[in-house]
């Protein structure tokens, strides 16, 4: 037997051990790197969501670089956002191969239909990239839930307010009814003195409650829904004067619509031009009746500087979205809701050098 043979075995053994060690080292290194990548991607997503205040649209639009770094090749999103539609296509130019996955996320008036194309590695259900993408979708859904809760809370507050006014008005009416009947029926001096005595106790309390109700109330709901014939040119001019806007109004039309609702809707639309000081240029308003369609089209257009920031149309009608620090972000949302009640429509349009709204009103408005 050759004396070098045991030495060779030992060498081979050493070599084997070194290879195993190296394999273990690289495997550990790979997993550590992957785990770091995963941790970084998740942290980035959370940080981004915090930065955009859990705003679903901003989160969606700004998260693309993070998703792209994880093997996301293309993302096509069809978004419906409070009546506005938007399609977004985000991709890496070099390649659009890969496996496509379809996701649907929705809450009330907020819908995301997503087609995400992933590279082969990322599309495996157990992969780290896929895990991050699922987390991204969960966070997006969570943001929609938050928005929905915010709207629901506000609606409940409004309902409570309506109930308060209704409750108080009925109590005041009941008080007046009883008082009126007593005044007209009591005859003896003794009863008259009793009534005066009772009124001294009750009237200040009722006056106080009435005062509180008036403070809460700014308009009569029944009056709001009363249809009347009106001249749109005159009504529009009144609203324009109210806001001291630089405006030119052309055309006119007569319609039969609830004047209070319509005025409120116009105020909410034109109020934006004043509150946000979007432009100092003249606002052109045209009123075109269309007898065949039994409708009137109002165009509100404003010129702007070419370099002015583009307005995100899908966000304009979203409740509580505003670029103004003092605004509530309800103006255009309310305008659309009010117009819906009279079967009217409003849309936003923007070109490179102009932007504005068109409003389509029925000539004879019947409330839904």
Partner 1 sequence: MNKILLVDDNSALRGMLSFSLETAGYEVFEAESRAEAILQLKQHRIPVVILDMGMPPNQYTPEEGLTVLDWVVINQPETNVIVLTGQESERVSYLALKQGAFDFLEKPVTVEMLLAAIKRAYLFYEQTSKLKQQEGIQKVQIEVCLGQGVKETRNQAEQKLVKQVLSDTGFNVHEAARRLGLKRENMYYLIKKYDLQREEELEPSKKGE
3-class SS letters over the chain? CCCHHHHHHHHHHHHHHHHHHHHHHHHHHHHHHHHHHHHHHHHHHHHHHHHCCCCHHHHHHHCHHHHHCCCEEEEEEEEEECCEEEEEEEECCCCCCCEEEEEEEEECCEEEEEEEEECCCCCCCCCHHHHHHHHHHHHHHHHHHHHHHHHHHHHHHHHHHHHHHHHHHHHHHHHHHHHHHHHHHCCCHHHHHHHHHHHHHHHHHHHHHHHHHHHHCCCCHHHHCCEEEEEHHHHHHHHHHHHCCCEEEECCCEEEEEHHHHHHHHHHHHHHHHHCCCCCCCEEEEEEEECCCCEEEEEEEEECCCCCCCCCHHHHCCCCCCCCCCCCCCHHHHHHHHHHHCCCEEEEEECCCEEEEEEEEECECCCC
Shortest distance (Å) from residue 217 CB to partner 1: 15
> Closest CB to partner 1 among 181 and 250?
181
CB atoms within 10 A of CB 136: 24
Shortest distance (Å) from residue 203 CB to partner 1: 7
> Closest CB to partner 1 among 64 and 164?
164
38, 48, 92, 186: which one contacts partner 1 (CB under 8 A)? 186
103, 175, 243, 358: which one contacts partner 1 (CB under 8 A)? 175
Q: Which residues in 205-264 contact partner 1 (CB under 8 A)? A: 205-206, 209
Shortest distance (Å) from residue 189 CB to partner 1: 14
Q: How far is CA 73 from CA 35, 99, 162, in A?
A: 21, 9, 51
248 vs 250: CA distance, rounded Å = 7
36, 120, 194, 294: which one contacts partner 1 (CB under 8 A)? 194
Shortest distance (Å) from residue 199 CB to partner 1: 8
170, 212, 254, 282: which one contacts partner 1 (CB under 8 A)? 170
Shortest distance (Å) from residue 161 CB to partner 1: 10
Do residues 233 and 255 touch, judged by C-beta distance below 8 A? no
Specify the stretch interacting with partner 1 by CB under 8 A; choose among 49-57, 83-91, 177-185, 287-295.
177-185
> Closest CB to partner 1 among 106 and 177?
177
Specify the stretch interacting with partner 1 by CB under 8 A; choose among 63-71, 164-172, 228-236, 284-292.
164-172
Shortest distance (Å) from residue 177 CB to partner 1: 4
Specify the stretch interacting with partner 1 by CB under 8 A; choose among 163-171, 242-250, 276-284, 294-302.
163-171
222 vs 225: CA distance, rounded Å = 6
Specify the stretch interacting with partner 1 by CB under 8 A; choose among 21-29, 44-52, 85-93, 203-211.
203-211
Q: Provide the residue count of the chain.
A: 368
> Closest CB to partner 1 among 4 and 185?
185
Question: Judged by CB under 8 A, does residue 174 bind partner 1?
Answer: yes
Q: Measure CA 88 to chain center.
A: 18
Question: Judged by CB under 8 A, does residue 202 bind partner 1?
Answer: yes
Shortest distance (Å) from residue 207 CB to partner 1: 8
Shortest distance (Å) from residue 202 CB to partner 1: 4
96, 203, 234, 366: which one contacts partner 1 (CB under 8 A)? 203
121 vs 136: CA distance, rounded Å = 18
50, 95, 155, 166: which one contacts partner 1 (CB under 8 A)? 166
> Closest CB to partner 1 among 213 and 341?
213
**Interacting residues with partner 1 (CB under 8 A):** 160, 163-164, 166-167, 169-171, 173-179, 181-182, 185-186, 191, 194-195, 198, 201-203, 205-206, 209
């Amino acid at each position: 037997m050759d004396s070098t043979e045991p030495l060779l075995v030992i060498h081979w053994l050493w070599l084997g051990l070194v290879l195993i060690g190296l394999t273990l080292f690289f495997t550990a290194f790979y997993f550590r790197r992957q785990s770091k990548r995963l941790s970084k991607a998740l942290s980035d997503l959370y940080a981004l969501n915090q930065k955009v205040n859990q705003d679903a649209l901003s989160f969606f639009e700004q998260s693309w670089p993070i998703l792209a770094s994880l093997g996301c090749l293309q993302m096509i999103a069809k978004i419906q956002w409070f009546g506005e539609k938007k399609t977004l296509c985000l991709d890496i130019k070099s390649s659009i191969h890969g496996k496509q996955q379809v996701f649907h996320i929705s809450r009330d008036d907020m819908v995301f239909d997503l087609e995400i194309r992933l590279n082969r590695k990322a599309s495996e259900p157990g992969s780290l990239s896929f895990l991050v993408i699922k987390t991204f979708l969960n966070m997006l859904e969570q943001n929609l839930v938050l928005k929905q809760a915010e709207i629901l809370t506000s609606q409940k507050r409004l309902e409570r307010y309506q109930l308060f006014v209704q409750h108080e008005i009925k109590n005041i009416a009941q008080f007046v009814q009883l008082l009126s009947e007593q005044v007209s029926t009591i005859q003896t001096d003794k009863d008259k003195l009793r009534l005066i005595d009772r009124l001294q106790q009750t009237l200040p309390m009722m006056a106080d409650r009435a005062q509180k109700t008036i403070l809460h109330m700014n308009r009569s709901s029944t009056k709001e829904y009363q249809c009347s014939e009106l001249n749109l040119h005159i009504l529009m001019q009144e609203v324009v004067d109210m806001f001291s806007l630089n405006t030119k109004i052309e055309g006119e039309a007569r319609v039969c619509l609830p004047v209070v609702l319509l005025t409120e809707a116009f105020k909410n639309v034109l109020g934006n031009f004043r509150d946000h000081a979007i432009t100092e240029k003249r606002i052109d308003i045209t009123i075109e009746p269309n007898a065949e369609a039994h409708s009137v089209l109002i165009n509100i257009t404003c010129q702007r500087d070419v370099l002015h920031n583009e307005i995100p149309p899908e966000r304009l009608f979203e409740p509580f979205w505003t670029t103004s620090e003092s605004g509530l972000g309800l103006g255009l949302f309310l305008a659309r809701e009010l117009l819906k009640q009279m079967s009217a429509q409003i849309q936003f349009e923007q070109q490179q050098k102009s932007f504005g709204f068109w409003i389509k009103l029925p000539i004879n408005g019947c409330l839904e």
